[in-house]
Amino acid sequence: MRQSVSTSSNDAQVTATPPADNLPASLQGTQVPGDISADANGDLVINRGLRDFFDYFLSASSEESAATIRSRVIAAAKARLEPRARQQLLDVYDDYVAYKATAAEAVAAVSGNGLARATARLAALRRVRAQTLRPDVVRAFFGDDDVYDDYEMTKAEILTDRTSSATEKAEKLARLRAGLPAALSNGIAVAETVQTLQAVTSDWRQRGGSPAELRSIRQELVGAEATERLEALDAQNAQWSARVAGYMDRRAVILSDASLSEGERQRAVADLRAQNFSDTESIRIGALERIHDSSDSATSHAAATSSN
């Protein structure tokens, strides 16, 4: 970890700069990302863009040597920074490369599974960061990651807490989300919210919770309007399930009627389907029939095998 700035150039450590048009395959046709700049005093600005800049070149580590990648970093820095800031950039780059190598070893040494392993892995990464990077670099490179990682760890603890009801979990999760910085909260994907809702709803179902409790859960996690839409969808699904169940019962009666020929049974089933479902719905019903019949066939085969 470098604490001071040296104005003696590290550029001399690289004997040749690879041509910009001879990029590895993974980088061809791409633009160098990252906001790298110097402040009014000529010192390098430490921000997340600097990490993106490094990661862009390091992403080709399976295609190029470490020396070649460092040469590309130097070449790109020369086009953007004066010598003082460029030297600072190279110091941070070398520390960052050392961090990534040490972090990989530390993570590989973590044992266990589940939440305990995830917690130990995060602790190992943070320990290595503190040992290899300056504090200001850690904050700039990993500040947002740390907030999100803490959020994910706490969320996992809430979801696996056997002492809390589904409603209590929903309330805790809502408070947890509300405590996130606005930029991070807005950036959390809808899919993540849906997954959380599914997990808590599954817990509610396993506990035999009430409809009122489910409504409270949904309101905490997705709000009143979304809850109303979900309840309307529940009603539609319940109605559909009842229609399907009724149809399947009547279909079973027809198929078991020994007084009908096979052709008569199939025609009767087709008439029953047409009377109860639209053309579009009939496509879904056909799929459900095949699943139902396949399940019955497998059950009958298993029973026959067992009896033998």
pLDDT in tens, the chain (308 residues): 755 444 344 444 444 556 555 888 899 888 888 889 999 999 999 999 999 999 999 999 999 999 999 999 999 999 899 999 999 999 999 999 999 999 999 999 999 888 889 999 999 999 999 999 999 999 999 999 999 999 999 999 998 998 998 889 989 988 898 888 877 776 675 667 777 888 888 888 888 888 898 999 889 888 889 899 988 988 998 899 999 999 999 999 999 999 999 999 999 999 999 999 999 898 899 889 888 888 766 555 555 555 55
- Cα separations (Å) of 80 from 19, 36, 89, 176? 17, 7, 11, 41
CB 289, CB 263: distance < 8 Å: no
The residue from 112, 134, 162 where one domain ends is: 112
Domain that holds residue 42: 1-112
- Asked which of 112, 140, 156 is the last residue of a domain, the reply is 112
Q: How many residues does the chain have?
A: 308
214 in any annotated domain: no
Whole-prediction pTM value? 0.62
Give pLDDT, residue 185: 74
- Rounded to the nearest angstrom, the gap between the alpha carbon of residue 255 and the centroid of all alpha carbons in its chain is 47
88 found inside a domain: yes
Is residue 295 in a domain? yes
Report in angstroms the alpha-carbon separations of 54 from 47, 89, 290. 12, 10, 54
End residue of a domain, out of 112, 132, 156:
112
Helix, strand and coil content of the chain, in percent to the nearest 5, comes to 75, 0, 25
Q: Which residues contact 198 (CB under 8 A, 6 or more apart)?
A: none
